[in-house]
Structure 1
Amino acid sequence: MAECPKPISSGSALTSWFMKLGFVWGGELVSVLTSSILQMGFIWHITLTTNSASMLSLASLAGFLPLALFGMFAGTIVDRLPLKHTLVGADLFIAAVSAIVAAVSLTGALPVWVVMVALFFRAIGNAFHTPAFQALTPLVAPPEHLTRLAGVTQAVQSGGYILGTAIAAVIYPLWGLTAMIALDVAGALFATAAIIAARLDVGGVGAGDAAEAPANAGGMLSQLRALVSETAEGYHVLHGYRGLFALLWCGFAFTFVFSPISALFPIMTLDHFGGTTGDAAMAEIVFSVGMIVGSAVLASWGGFKNRAFTVVAATALYGVATFGAGLLGTGGFSLFLAASFLMGFSSPFYSGPQTALMQERVPPEFLGRVFGLYGAIMSWALPLGLAGSSLFADVVGAPAWFVGAGAAMVVLAAITWAIPSIRHVEAPHGDLS
């Protein structure tokens, strides 16, 4: 097993690892910004071209399927390769997909099926980029900074998303989808240059042995068997950390309950409060601002000493805010905005400490696989939750769904804290089975 990063011992060491992350985060901010601009452009293109809710649902499906289907195996490949190669390769792959869409759009009308295919292949790139990006920090930074750095990562991604959504509203009517695609290609190339400038030399632990043995055995079948075997090994490693494994499935339950809430936000604003599309956009923006503020607080404070308690408290706060939002009358839109802010504020305190715990506890050579598995399992919770809400939300109404989901989150917080392995996840070796 490779050595875990050692605590910093000098100012130059601090400058070294912080500069590396600074370069990567700067590139990531620009990449997320331009990607969110294009994502909104694709959504508006599908909406204006088809005026079909089912087509938007298919677009969401195209965006989640690659992570759900390939995420766990993508994590195994991430562990085999140097992280610089994976991050650069994923960014360039996404840029190439966008460039092809731009070329098609220049020939005339852009068919919706081309957008769907592009969303699918861009998501394949993200299936590799996400676990690689999450595995980077613990390989570069000292372990005592991981929770705060998780807050910075959340802020970078949330900030890029909210700015991208706002800028997209200006660019689309002025210059159209082709300009958005060009920006996305430029953003991916900028992120690639930033990663190269960071001069990363981490990752790929044991990659040579892992990749060489199947090649000598011969054939694609041997490669596939090795991939499945290494993925299963990553699952067994995660399963060995009882607290982290229990948090994973509590997170699955949370995502299952949460996912319909995000989809019902516009319905609450438009139908229950009688608001406009501008009001619906305001609720989304306030939620994102809450995420940025929460990320900043997490980065400066770090959360409670027991990070599992931070996760539980965030779950409970999210539940209380959701429950309260569902109880509001038709004239309570301003209070709904306050509840939206609290929901967004609690999100980094839910995901950040979990990310830091996995980065700290899981051996470096398994980080890609563990994050790939985590992302794949969470991806399956999203459509299951949305499917459940589509069956019952129209019957009970959005406010009642908010009340029920909020109560379920509070109960889930209590159940999570009642699990001993989660409660003692910070104890030395207390998390291992």
Structure 2
Amino acid sequence: MSSGPGADSAPAPDDNDTNHDHDRTSGAASGSKATFSSLKVRNYRLFFTGAIVSNTGTWMARITQDWLVLSLTGSSAAVGITTALQFLPMLLFGLYGGVIADRYPKRRLLLFSQAALGMCGLALAVLTLSGQIQVWHVYLIAFLLGMVTVVDNPTRQAFVSEMVGPRHLRNAVSLNSANFQSARLIGPAVAGVLITAVGSGWAFLLNGLSFLAPIAGLLLMRTSELHRTERAPRGKGQLREGLTYVAGRPELIWPIVLVGFIGTFAFNFPIWLTAFADKVFHAGAGTYGMFNTLMAVGSLAGALLSARRGSSRLRMLFGAAALFGALEITAALSPSFWLFAALLVPIGMMGLTVNVTANSSVQMATDPAMRGRVMSLYMMVFVGGTPLGAPIVGWLTDTYGARVGFAAGGAVAIVAAAAIGLILVRVGGLRVKVDLRPGRPHLRVVPRERLTAAA
């Protein structure tokens, strides 16, 4: 999702804003802080409504796919391979998807991509209902889904700004996350019931049909009300141009690096939750669905809180990332089923906060003409790292147990947040100031000049 004014250089430290709030340009974040303000826009309402339906189907299919692979193979590593294949195309071709999103009409691209995603879901349904399904079929369709997502993801994110404009952008980014997490409350529960009652194939069938809703929403939009952005002309060097643009801006590159580490090693929940449900707590698909629903409760709460916030502070990003990792380690060590289940709620909340804060801060600091390429790089790093991390995490989980695998992911999140936060402090000419006097903030980030003057 991309909108907001351009940022030709990293903002200088401001004495009145020592948190590096990069959301201080134009009105991108100064619009209404009402939780649902962007739904006033008719085109976005259509987009949002269609997304609820397709996202619910997507979550049903995700849960069903993970459990199907585990049932066919008995291996957490196989679940990791499936996840890796679905996100491998983003790693290999993600930047090309951003070039396509910047070059062609986004609404038209989304019509094609949503139809293709629906066809993949229907193909998996036919194979499963006919009794012909094999694990290599799941691998192949997961890879095809990933190929479509290479174009669909940056296009869908960049299209949000065309629907709502800069004033409602941050709110729309947060509501998209709330939409996705609301579907996550329903999809896993429905999938668990369907798998137990009638089999996996019906969940896949409903997912394929669910894509009719966003297609209808796109067709009903009033194109005259879209906020048009200048499309990038066909030309050489556009990938290199996007990479150079990001490389010269610390406010873009370091949040992207952080979400890369977290997405690669700390977001492998299909592997961990299937392993905890099956091997630690000796439960079935219903428990796996319940775990995902509990995470969705926290994620939805995090998304709605993000929708009310008017800015995206980097301090919040790094603090949320560190707390996210700490909660994962705590859950990994939890001795009881119900404590583990309860901890999934704040884990979902912190994970969503990391994602929304990084996403919106990167978008708001990006020039409109570069949004597709910048967001494709963001998604390539965040999602595309999964093919590298998922097999490693799956092997670690199979070899040393679910608790060790989960705790290792949390440790990576903490180390990445601390290390990259310190790098940004140094790059921005800042220092950490500790003040133990009563009634004052005990820990602040301040410009070096102020600290020197005080000395």
In the superposition, the TM-score normalised over structure 1's length comes to: 0.79
Asked if the contact 2:102/2:372 (under 8 Å) is kept, the reply is yes
Judged with a 3 Å threshold, the aligned counterparts in structure 2 of structure 1 residues 299 and 186 are, in CA distance, closer, same or farther, namely same
Judged with a 3 Å threshold, the aligned counterparts in structure 2 of structure 1 residues 310 and 365 are, in CA distance, closer, same or farther, namely same
Asked if residue 189 in structure 1 is aligned to residue 189 in structure 2, the reply is no
Asked if residue 282 in structure 1 is aligned to residue 307 in structure 2, the reply is no
Tell me how far 1:190 sits from its aligned partner: 1.4
SS at structure 2 position matched to 1:135: helix
> Could you tell me which residue of structure 1 aligns to residue 166 of structure 2?
143
Aligned with 1:364 (options 352, 362, 368): 368
Q: Output the aligned Cα RMSD.
A: 3.4
Asked if the contact 2:298/2:349 (under 8 Å) is kept, the reply is yes
> Could you tell me which residue of structure 1 aligns to residue 190 of structure 2?
167
Aligned with 1:77 (options 97, 100, 110): 100
Per-residue CA shift, 1:120-142, capped at 9, x if unaligned?
Answer: 22222222111112112233334
Spell out the pairing of 1:228-377 with structure 2 (5 A cutoff): 229-259=237-267, 263-268=271-276, 274=281, 276-277=283-284, 278-302=286-310, 305=311, 307-328=313-334, 330=335, 332-377=336-381
Tell me how far 1:77 sits from its aligned partner: 0.5
Judged with a 3 Å threshold, the aligned counterparts in structure 2 of structure 1 residues 114 and 409 are, in CA distance, closer, same or farther, namely closer
SS at structure 1 position matched to 2:230: coil
Tell me how far 1:327 sits from its aligned partner: 4.1
> Could you tell me which residue of structure 2 aligns to residue 217 of structure 1?
none
What is the CA–CA distance in structure 2 between the aligned matches of 1:320 and 1:301, rounded to whole Å?
24
Tell me how far 1:30 sits from its aligned partner: 0.8
What is the CA–CA distance in structure 1 between the aligned matches of 2:167 and 2:404, rounded to whole Å?
42
Asked if the contact 1:76/1:230 (under 8 Å) is kept, the reply is yes
Tell me how far 1:88 sits from its aligned partner: 0.9
> Could you tell me which residue of structure 1 aligns to residue 120 of structure 2?
97
Aligned residues: 399
> Could you tell me which residue of structure 2 aligns to residue 219 of structure 1?
none
Asked if the contact 1:75/1:370 (under 8 Å) is kept, the reply is yes
Q: Which amino acid aligns with 2:231?
A: G
What is the CA–CA distance in structure 1 between the aligned matches of 2:71 and 2:339, rounded to whole Å?
32
What is the CA–CA distance in structure 2 between the aligned matches of 1:15 and 1:252, rounded to whole Å?
29
Aligned with 1:20 (options 43, 53, 63): 43
Per-residue CA shift, 1:387-433, capped at 9, x if unaligned?
Answer: 44455556655445555544443343333332135798xxxxxxxxx
Tell me how far 1:28 sits from its aligned partner: 1.1
Asked if residue 199 in structure 1 is aligned to residue 206 in structure 2, the reply is no
Tell me how far 1:204 sits from its aligned partner: 6.6
Gaps of 5+ in 1: 215-225, 425-433
What is the CA–CA distance in structure 2 between the aligned matches of 1:349 and 1:9, rounded to whole Å?
20
Tell me how far 1:90 sits from its aligned partner: 0.4
SS at structure 2 position matched to 1:128: helix
> Could you tell me which residue of structure 1 aligns to residue 441 of structure 2?
none
Per-residue CA shift, 1:69-102, capped at 9, x if unaligned?
Answer: 2221111101111110111110112223334455
Asked if the contact 2:255/2:362 (under 8 Å) is kept, the reply is no
Per-residue CA shift, 1:203-241, capped at 9, x if unaligned?
Answer: 67335x32xxx6xxxxxxxxxxx3xx2122111122232
Gaps of 5+ in 2: 6-25, 431-455
SS at structure 2 position matched to 1:276: coil
Q: Which has more helix, going by share of residues?
A: 1
What is the CA–CA distance in structure 2 between the aligned matches of 1:288 and 1:346, rounded to whole Å?
11
Aligned with 1:415 (options 398, 419, 429): 419
> Could you tell me which residue of structure 1 aligns to residue 59 of structure 2?
36
Higher alpha-carbon deviation: 378-387 or 150-159:
378-387
Asked if the contact 1:316/1:413 (under 8 Å) is kept, the reply is yes
Judged with a 3 Å threshold, the aligned counterparts in structure 2 of structure 1 residues 411 and 370 are, in CA distance, closer, same or farther, namely same
Tell me the percent identity: 21
Judged with a 3 Å threshold, the aligned counterparts in structure 2 of structure 1 residues 392 and 181 are, in CA distance, closer, same or farther, namely closer
